[in-house]
């Protein structure tokens, strides 16, 4: 079968390779209804980022232990533990007893607070399923990726994606669905990396602390349905002002919830706040279409239109503490080699990050 995925290398026959893009949530996921099966308390909505990709090669080797190398360095702690949650589920389904040899490469700084766990665990789920000879649908792959990292379940799809929280305790109804493909709307995301020490509270720990101690957590959860509906409508009309407005509101509410935890979770650094002020100023004073969002770290992602990027780059790059700006278009779905056996809903052959 002819391979459609140009980014993929030919590996040994027992190995499989997958490339997945990172994603950022415009309506945030912040809170779990269950740690078993990693289930969210609410839905979320994201866009896939073409410029941030993880390429993972994986083979199962009987008698070997699991080994994870990320960007040339062996990882034994939390990254391997997350990977095992996905690997064990794949081994279970395939009745496999073999260690996984995993080599994962990111084209962006790993562990910098960018969404490397989303692209990484999505690519891992795809590569592991293919190497184990499984033929899951994208829906099943999304559930597998979710086990390692919630946001990873959204990285199976390209374009504009919604994660359905589901209600079942086994998590079978909690997976991501594509709302619109990448070419539905030509938006740009500018990822502003800010100078900051690497230490942060991982999102799982942050969410658990927030749910246990923040007096605002109930209101945060209650507001998500309305934000999701507003974001869906804005997307349907390709209305950037509405989409950006609800994205900023969701981000600020999530951080307000986290700030009110005990002890309070403050993910921002000085430059993060300067960027927020600059975004608002440029919008109000110059009428430029740009909107910010921030995850569990200090970096800021800005949503804008392709024609605005050129004028924004020098203005945003001049903010003290901004060390790098990565420009991204909207990305496509996961690519897997060898492709998974076709079945309804399985990875389309033409699917590739654009």
Q: Where are the alpha helices (DSSP H) in 237-269?
A: 240-259
Smallest gap from Cβ 118 to ligand PMV, in A, equals 6
Smallest gap from Cβ 169 to ligand PMV, in A, equals 19
How many CB atoms are located within 10 Å of the residue 319 CB?
17
| Residue among 331, 337, 326, 324 nearest 354 (CA) | 331
Nearer to ligand PMV, 5 or 228 (CB): 228
Q: Do 336 and 16 contact (CB within 8 A), yes or no?
A: yes
| Residue among 114, 122, 159, 123 nearest 142 (CA) | 122
Q: Do 281 and 318 contact (CB within 8 A), yes or no?
A: no
Nearer to ligand PMV, 40 or 339 (CB): 40
Buried b (16+ CB within 10 A) or exposed e, 124-140: bbbbbbbbbebebebbb
Beta pairing, strands 67-70 & 73-75: antiparallel
| Euclidean distance between CA atoms 116 and 123, whole angstroms | 10
Residue 286: exposure state from Cβ atoms within 10 A (0-12, 13-18, ≥19): exposed
Q: Do 163 and 40 contact (CB within 8 A), yes or no?
A: yes
Nearer to ligand PMV, 91 or 154 (CB): 154
DSSP string computed for 41-57:
SS-EEEEEEEEEEEEEE
Nearer to ligand PMV, 230 or 295 (CB): 295
Nearer to ligand PMV, 300 or 312 (CB): 300
Nearer to ligand PMV, 16 or 261 (CB): 261
Smallest gap from Cβ 103 to ligand PMV, in A, equals 22
Smallest gap from Cβ 129 to ligand PMV, in A, equals 19
Nearer to ligand PMV, 224 or 312 (CB): 224
Nearer to ligand PMV, 27 or 340 (CB): 27
Q: What is the DSSP letter of 346?
A: S
Smallest gap from Cβ 167 to ligand PMV, in A, equals 19
Smallest gap from Cβ 283 to ligand PMV, in A, equals 23
> Which residues, including other chains, have CB under 8 Å from residue 68's CB and lie 6 or more apart?
74, 75, 76, 79, 80, 83, 100, 102, 104
Smallest gap from Cβ 146 to ligand PMV, in A, equals 9
Nearer to ligand PMV, 60 or 163 (CB): 163
| Euclidean distance between CA atoms 122 and 21, whole angstroms | 8
Smallest gap from Cβ 120 to ligand PMV, in A, equals 10
Smallest gap from Cβ 155 to ligand PMV, in A, equals 10
Binding site for ligand PMV (CB under 6 A): 25, 28-30, 44, 117, 149-151, 203-204, 295-296
Percent of the chain as helix, strand, coil, to the nearest 5: 40, 25, 40
Q: Compute φ and ψ for 51, nearest 5 degrees.
A: -80, -15
């Amino acid at each position: 079968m002819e391979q459609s995925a140009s980014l993929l290398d030919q590996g040994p026959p027992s190995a499989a390779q997958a490339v997945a893009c990172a994603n950022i949530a415009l309506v945030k996921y912040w809170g779990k209804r269950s740690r078993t099966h990693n289930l969210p308390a609410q839905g979320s909505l994201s866009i896939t980022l073409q410029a941030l990709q993880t390429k993972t090669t994986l083979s199962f080797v009987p008698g070997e232990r699991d080994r994870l190398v990320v960007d040339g360095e062996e990882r034994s702690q939390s990254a391997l533990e997350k990977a095992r949650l996905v690997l064990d589920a794949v081994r279970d389904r395939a009745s496999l007893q073999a260690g996984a040899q995993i080599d994962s490469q990111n084209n962006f700084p790993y562990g910098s607070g960018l969404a490397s766990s989303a692209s990484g665990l999505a690519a891992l789920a795809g590569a592991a399923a293919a190497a184990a000879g499984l033929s899951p649908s994208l829906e099943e792959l999304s559930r597998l990726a979710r086990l390692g990292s919630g946001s990873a379940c959204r990285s199976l799809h390209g374009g504009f994606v919604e994660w359905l929280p589901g209600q079942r305790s086994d998590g079978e109804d909690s997976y991501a669905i594509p709302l619109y493909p990448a070419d539905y709307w030509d938006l740009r995301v500018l990822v502003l990396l800010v100078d900051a020490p690497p230490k942060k509270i991982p999102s799982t720990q942050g969410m658990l602390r927030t749910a246990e101690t923040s007096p605002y957590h109930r209101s945060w959860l209650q507001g998500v349905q309305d934000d999701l509906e507003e974001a869906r409508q804005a997307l349907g009309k390709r209305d950037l002002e509405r989409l950006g407005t609800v994205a900023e509101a969701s981000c600020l509410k999530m951080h307000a919830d986290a700030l009110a935890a005990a002890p309070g979770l403050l993910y921002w650094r000085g430059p993060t706040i300067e960027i927020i002020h600059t975004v608002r100023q440029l919008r109000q004073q110059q009428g430029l279409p740009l909107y910010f969002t921030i995850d569990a770290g200090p970096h800021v992602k800005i949503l804008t239109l392709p024609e605005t990027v050129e004028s924004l780059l020098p203005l945003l790059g001049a903010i003290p503490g901004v060390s790098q700006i990565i420009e991204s278009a909207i990305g496509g779905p996961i690519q897997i080699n060898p492709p998974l056996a076709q079945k309804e809903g399985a990875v389309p052959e033409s699917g590739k990050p654009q």
